[in-house]
């Protein structure tokens, strides 16, 4: 990886993180539902589909992907990358792999987050 790649990722990450903070500043948790996270994940998932398809069609330089997808959307939400992975698996006809990926990702990540919370709380 070149220095330009890392600069593109870092710059995109800063933009994405500011966008995520902006959503958190505008939206609230209403009725116990985390609207900020939901909105970021939904916006990021739509954006990654649009950006990936556009960059692929244009045969854009890899630095655009580094800035927009890895950096900006990575700083905004990594759920977008997960969503694109699932879409691409389905497009490749890998239905079983896509289904397992969704199930295992959601279950293991939720359990992992719960385990992390439990561990810290158990330490007192």
104 belongs to a structural domain: no
106 belongs to a structural domain: no
Three-state SS string over 28-68 comes to CCECCECHHHHHHHHHHHHHHHHHHHHHHHHCCCHHHHHHH
Q: Which residue has the higher pLDDT, 53 or 78?
A: 53
Encoded tokens for 42: 């939904």
> pLDDT confidence of 47, banded at 50, 70, 90?
very high
> pLDDT digit string (tens) for 50-70?
999 999 999 999 999 999 999
46 belongs to a structural domain: yes
Q: What is the mean pLDDT of the chain?
A: 92
Domain count, the chain: 1
pLDDT at residue 80 greater than cutoff 90: no
The residue segments making up the domain with residue 7 are: 3-77
**Residues with Cβ < 8 Å from 67, sequence gap 6 or more?**
8, 9, 11, 12
93 belongs to a structural domain: no
Nearest to 24 by CA among 13, 40, 11: 40
> pLDDT confidence of 4, banded at 50, 70, 90?
very high
The CA-to-CA distance between both ends of the chain, in Å, stands at 42
84 belongs to a structural domain: no
115 belongs to a structural domain: no
113 belongs to a structural domain: no
């Amino acid at each position: 990886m070149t220095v330009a790649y890392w600069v593109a990722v870092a710059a995109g990450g800063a933009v994405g993180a500011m966008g995520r903070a902006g959503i958190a500043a505008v939206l609230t948790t209403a009725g116990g539902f985390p609207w900020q996270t939901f909105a970021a994940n939904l916006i990021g998932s739509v954006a990654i589909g649009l950006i990936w398809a556009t960059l692929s069609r244009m045969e854009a330089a890899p630095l655009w992907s580094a800035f927009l997808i890895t950096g900006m959307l990575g700083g905004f939400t990594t759920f977008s990358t997960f969503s694109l992975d699932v879409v691409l698996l389905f497009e490749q006809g890998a239905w079983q792999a896509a289904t397992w990926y969704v199930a295992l990702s959601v279950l293991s990540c939720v359990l992992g987050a719960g385990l992390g919370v439990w561990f810290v709380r158990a330490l007192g």
